Amino acid sequence: MSIWFLLNGALVIWAAWNVVQSLAVHSVHHHILLGFAGFLLFIFNWTRNAVFATIRKVDDRAVKIKLARFSKKIMPYHRWIGTLSFVLIALHALTVIHLYGFNPGSMKILTGLLASVNLFILVLSGWYSQLIRHNLKSRRVHIGLGISMFILTALHLYF
């Protein structure tokens, strides 16, 4: 099993914990639920990275085939799930700005803004790779953006 499965699982548990705590404190919940739904779609897509890392490390051919078949079934929906994730995160951001205003001095707002921009570029790079040019460089850019999205999401949860 890849370390990414453990990191993704830890981030999901941490995010769920934050959501439960936030639902107890806030009287308006839809911005929290929009953000969590977008996060879950992102982490579902990002888990494909863990699947590929596991395929590379596992020696058992049957496990490799099983994981590759699973990934192949998900692939046609990967870009659409990422796009829907971005739409939900954008709605989350708009709702937060509407409810609380835009305060660029807040680390929560700043990390959320950086994560949103990163997610937008991540989605664009995925569509670029599908529609225009799929090569090693675009794949590496896409994976790098995914890693930075993971880190920015963790920072957003922290603040």
Q: Quote the Cα angle for 6-10-16, to 5°.
A: 145
Positions of E strands within 56-123: none
Parse the chain into domains and list their residue ranges: 3-158
Q: Give yes or no for a contact between 79 and 130, defined as CB atoms under 8 angstroms apart.
A: yes
pTM listed for this prediction: 0.93
Q: Is the pLDDT of residue 147 over 80?
A: yes
The pair phi, psi for residue 133, each rounded to 5°, is: -150, 120
Average of per-residue pLDDT across 100-121: 96
| pLDDT over threshold 90, residue 10 | yes
pLDDT at 121 over 80: yes
Q: Which pLDDT does position 49 carry in this prediction?
A: 86
Q: Mean of the per-residue pLDDT values for the chain?
A: 94
| Sign of torsion over alpha carbons 144, 36, 20, 74 | negative
Average pLDDT over residues 43-68: 92
- The distance of Cα 146 from the centroid of its chain, to the nearest Å, equals 7
Once rounded to an integer, what is the mean pLDDT over residues 77-98? 97
